[in-house]
A and B are shown apart, each in its own frame.
Chain A
C-alpha cells in the first residue's frame, strides 16, 4: 500500500504509523467526560471510505489525514494536518 506524503512524495506504507481514526476532532481539554469518552472510546469503523490519521515516522514525521477505503485499501486523498497544512496551502496558492 503506498501513501502520497505531501512532503516526501509517494512512499510505501511501512514508512508510516497508523495513529487512529482521523474523523474525530479532539475535544477541548475542559470538555466534559461524555465528550471525551465518545472521542477516546467510540468508533464508527465503517466498511468503506474512512478518514484516518497517519504519522510519517519513517520519513519527515508529518502528521497526515488520509481518506482510504477499508475494503479495497484504495487511498482517495492525503493532506497535512496542523501548522504544516497552513504553510503548504499558502505556498500552493502562490
Chain B
C-alpha cells in the first residue's frame, strides 16, 4: 500500500521499452528513461539504503543530485562504484545495483542497534573516549570504527574505463537549463554570441519538465522542447547534457564533468566513460536553480518522506505515484501547487498541513474544489513506521514560539511530502564570489558579488527570483548583459507570457518542529545522521561558530555536501545563539559542486602515459643490443648491456675493465646542451660560471662549475667554444631545464644589456663518448678531415671532421679518466655515426657501456655527480674550491664567504675503501669507531676493477684531514657495520696521465 506506477504520465519514460535490472539480489523491470529511483518506486521498493551511523532504513528523498539518503553501489569488479545517488542513476539493461553499508542484509542490519544506543553515539562521542588505554587501546577500537564508518566499498581492481580531458571556449557559458537558463541562452545565442549551455541532469529543462504552467500558451515542457530545438539548430551554440559545472576558478576558468557513458551498460569501444572539461568562459550566467528545503521533525528520515517537488517530478516525468495517501506539509504556497499538480497527475493527495494560521484564500478554495483537507496552524509532529511511512501525528503549532501546542492526532498516511521553502543554489557563486547576503523574506542566502577576476551574473531562482515569468525575464536580462560584456551586440526579445502566476515561495520561519518531551529523532544532515539535538549539544560544548559546528558534527560533509542540511543547521544554530542568521553567517562553499570521479580529472595521464618518455636518437640500437634501460627523469638510458646471463655486477665490471684496457662507447645524448651565442656570450659565461671563461680560445673546451645565488654548487659540465661568438654548453641531464631557465632569468632581469641568445640544443645533437687507450685509434680509423694525433688534438681540444659524409664535432674530454673523445653529430645522423664507430672499433673489441660502468669509472676518478652535488655542498666541500675564481665576481660569489660555509667541520668529499673486501652500501653513515654519531655518509659505491677493491665516494666532516683514518660505515636498516679507510677521492691515475696522454 504505497508507491506505484500511474497508468499514464511520465513523459521521460518510454512505456514500450521495458528494461530489466537487479537490485538487492532481485530482478525488477522499469522503462527506458527511468532512473533507478523511479523504477524502484514504481514497484514500491522504498527502503533501499541504511544511514551512516545509526543504520536507520532510508529511501529516496529527492529527484536529483541533491539526494542525501537513497545511495547504492553499482556493478562489481573493476566497474564497482559506491555511493551512487539512485535518482541520478539512469537504468540500462542488466544494471546490477546493491545496497551498501549493511550487514548481513538490507532487511536485517545488525548495526541498526546503533540507533538504540544513539544517546552514546551523539556528535563527537569518539573525542571523549577510546584513548583511556593509550595507543594500543585506540588502535584496537579504531579497527572497528573504520569498518563501521565509510559508506560504500570501492573496487580494489583497476578501472577498465577510459577517461579524457577537454578544453571548451565560449563567450557566454550558461550553467543550468531551467527557465532562466534557457531564456539566457536563447538571448545570447540569437545575438550571435558563442554560447555553451551545460545541464547537470540527463534532460534539459530543469523545473520546467514537471511544471504545470503554460508559456506563450503552450505547456512549459513543450516551450522547453521548442527552445532546445532552436538552440540545437544554431551553429554558435553548444548544448551539453549530463554535464555538471563543478568549479569556478580564477579568470572564469570553469571545471565541468561530462558523464558521457554512465547511462550505458559500458562505454563504446574508444569512448570515454567521463570527460573532464576545463571551460574558458568570457561571461558566466549562473542559472543553477534552487533546492527545495527539507524540514526537521521526528522521523523525517523515514523512507516515504520526500520533497514535495520531487514527488511531482516522479509523477510528471516518470509516471510514479509516491503513495496512495500522501500528506503534504508546507510552510509556503509552493507546497499547495505541488499538491494540486499531484492531484492533476492522478496521485491521491488527501491532506495538506500548514503551520501558518492564515493562508491565501484562493489556495484554500482550490484545495476545497479538489476535496483536499487543509489543516492550517498544524504540522506533522512525527512519522510512525520504520521501513516506510505508516502514519503521521498532526499537531497544532505556534509559529512565533516555535513549539507544538498540543498532542494532536494520528492520521493514516503512506508518504509525507515536505516543502520547507527554497534555498537558491549559490555554490558556484560562493566559490568565486564575496560573502553571500541573507534574504529575510526567503529565509535563504543570495549570491555575493563576484571577485574582481571572475565575471558572473546569477538569474532565476539561483538569484532568488522564483516566479516563472520573472525568472524568464531575469534569464533574458542575464543573457543580455553577459552578451554585451562579451563584446557582442545583444538582441532583446519580448519576455514569454506565463499562466498561471507562480506560487509565492516565501516561507513562514518554521523549519524545525521540536518533539514533545525531547524524545524523537529529528534529522538535519540525513546521510551523516546529524540530529537537531546534536546541534544543541555542539552549542552547549562551545562549538559555536558555524565552521566548528560543521566539523564537530560532520554536518554537510556527506556526499550531498550540505545541500539539504546547511540552511536548517544555520537556523538551529542562530536560535541556540539567540542571534539573527545573518550574523551567524554561512561557510564558504568549496569545489566540487558535485562529487566527481578522480579518473576524469586524471584523464589519460595514468599508467604508461602518466608522464612522457624521452629517448636518445640511438635508443633503438641499445634496445636491440639487450641493454637494460633505466628511468632517469623522463629519459630512458642504457644502464648496462648484459652478455649471456651476466648479473649487473658482472656486466659493469666487464664494461668498465674494457674501457680501462681497450675502448668502449657510451651514449651521452641525454646531456643538457645549450647554444650560447652572440658578441657578449663570453661575458655571459664568465658571470654564470665560477671559473674564468673570458679567455677560452676557439676550438677549446673547458669544465665549468655553476653555483646557485647562495654560493652552493648548482650544476657542472663542459662548454666548447665553436666559433668566436658561439659556445656549446653542456649541463647534467637532471638540471638541463633548470639551468636554461635560470640563465634566461638572469639574462632578462639582471643583464639585459648583454647581446647573447640562449637556445636549447639538447635534441639537436646526438653525442657519444669513445673512451679508452684505443679510442684515438678507433676514431682515426673512421674520422676524416680532422687530425686526431696526440700533438694535433690535445686535451680539451675541439674540432670538426667527417665520418663518411656526416659532419661531426669532436671534443677531447674525459669523464672516465681515460683517453677519451666526445663525438657530437646532428641527431638524425646519431645512429649512423654510432654504428660507424662501432664498426671501426670491432678490430679493437669495442663494447657499448652504460650508466653503471660509467658510475664505476667516475668513482675511480673521484668525479662528482648529483649524489655529491646534493644542493648542500659548496665547491670547496667537493675539492673544487680552486674553480671559484678570485679575480672576478660571479653568480654565488657574494654569499660564498658566509661563516658556516667556511667552517672546517663541513662534510667534505673523500674516497672510501672497504677493509673487509666486500661491497660498501650507498646511504651508509660514517661514524668514528665506537661512536654512533653520524659524521658523514657514503654517496656512491662500486667494485673497482682498476684497483681490484670495493671503493666508494662519501662526504665526511673534515674529510680532507682524515685520510688514512679507519671509520665504521653503519647501515642500521640492514644491521650492517663495515670497517672502511678514508683515502683521497681520486683513486686511479691521480695525475691524469692516461687522460692527457
Contact = CB atoms under 8 A, between A and B. Distances in A.
Contact of B709 (A1, A40, A80): A40
Interface in A21-68: 22, 25-33, 35-37, 39-41, 53, 55, 57, 61, 63
Interface residues of B, number: 31
B674 to A, nearest CB: 12
A73 interface: yes
A63 B250 contact: no
Contact of A53 (B251, B253, B280, B745): B745
Contacts of A74: 451-453
Contacts of B750: 25-26
Interface in B618-638: none
Contact of B749 (A35, A75, A82): A82
B17 interface: no
A29 B251 contact: no
Contacts of B278: 12
A59 B450 CA distance: 30
A12 B253 contact: yes
A81 B894 contact: no
Given A2-B253, A12-B253, A36 B748 contact: no
A78 interface: no
B9 interface: no
A32 B249 CA distance: 44
A40 B749 CA distance: 14
A82 B752 CA distance: 5
Contacts of A72: 451-453
B487 interface: no
A83 interface: yes
A75 B249 CA distance: 14
B687 A29 contact: yes
A46 B307 CA distance: 49
A55 B890 contact: no
A79 B495 CA distance: 46
Contacts of B737: 57
A74 B452 CA distance: 6
What is the interface of chain A mostly: helix, strand, loop, or mixed? Answer: mixed
B746 interface: yes
Interface string B130-166: 0000000000000000000000000000000000000
B889 interface: yes
Interface string B221-259: 000000000000000000000000000011101000000
B744 interface: yes
B881 interface: no
Contacts of A83: 747-748, 752, 755
Nearest to B686: A29
B749 A81 contact: yes
B894 A31 contact: yes
A26 B749 contact: yes
B880 interface: no
Contacts of B453: 1, 69, 72-75
B893 interface: yes
A19 interface: yes
Given A29-B687, A40-B895, A86 B752 contact: yes
B897 interface: yes
A55 B709 contact: no
A72 B454 CA distance: 9
A33 B897 contact: yes
Interface in B513-558: none
B150 to A, nearest CB: 33
A31 B745 CA distance: 19
Contacts of A2: 250-251, 253, 280
A94 B802 CA distance: 48
Interface residues of A, number: 39
A26 B752 CA distance: 12
Contacts of A63: 744-745, 747-749
Contacts of A32: 894
B898 interface: yes
Nearest to A82: B748
A1 B250 contact: yes
Contacts of B897: 33
Contact of A35 (B747, B894, B898): B894
A33 B251 CA distance: 41
B979 interface: no
Contact of A33 (B280, B745, B894): B894
A40 B250 contact: no
A63 B750 CA distance: 12
Contacts of A81: 748-749, 752
A85 to B, nearest CB: 7
A39 B709 CA distance: 9
Interface in B842-867: none
Nearest to B746: A26
Contacts of A30: 889, 894
Contacts of B709: 36, 39-40
A89 to B, nearest CB: 12
Contacts of B452: 69, 72, 74
Interface string B721-745: 0000000000000000100010011
Nearest to B896: A33
A55 B744 CA distance: 9
Contact of B893 (A13, A26, A29, A86): A29
Interface string B278-320: 1010000000000000000000000000000000000000000
A55 B253 contact: no
Interface in B867-901: 889-891, 893-895, 897-898
A39 B894 CA distance: 11
Contacts of B889: 28-30
Nearest to B708: A40
Contacts of B744: 55, 61, 63
Contacts of B745: 19, 53, 55, 63
Contacts of B748: 63, 80-84
A17 interface: yes
A76 B65 CA distance: 38
B601 to A, nearest CB: 13
Given A1-B250, A29-B890, A31-B894, A57 B741 contact: yes
A13 B451 CA distance: 18
B710 interface: yes
A36 B894 contact: yes
A41 B898 CA distance: 13
A53 to B, nearest CB: 6
Contacts of B253: 1-2, 12
A85 B752 contact: yes
B427 to A, nearest CB: 19
A37 B894 CA distance: 8
Contacts of B687: 29
Nearest to B741: A55
A80 B43 CA distance: 68
B451 A29 contact: no
A36 B250 contact: no
A1 to B, nearest CB: 4
Q: Which of B451, B746, B890, B894 has the most CB of A within 10 A?
A: B894
Nearest to B893: A29
Given A33-B895, A75-B251, A81-B749, 11 more contacts: A1-B249, A19-B745, A36-B709, A36-B895, A40-B895, A53-B749, A57-B741, A72-B452, A73-B251, A82-B749, A83-B748
28 contacts: A1-B251, A2-B251, A2-B280, A12-B278, A12-B280, A13-B250, A22-B749, A29-B889, A33-B894, A33-B895, A33-B898, A36-B894, A37-B895, A39-B709, A40-B710, A40-B895, A55-B744, A55-B745, A63-B747, A72-B451, A74-B451, A74-B452, A74-B453, A80-B748, A82-B752, A83-B748, A84-B748, A86-B752
Question: 9 closest pairs, A vs B, by CB?
Answer: A82-B748, A63-B748, A26-B750, A29-B889, A36-B894, A74-B453, A82-B752, A1-B250, A30-B889
Interface of B: 249-251, 253, 278, 280, 451-453, 687, 709-710, 737, 741, 744-750, 752, 755, 889-891, 893-895, 897-898
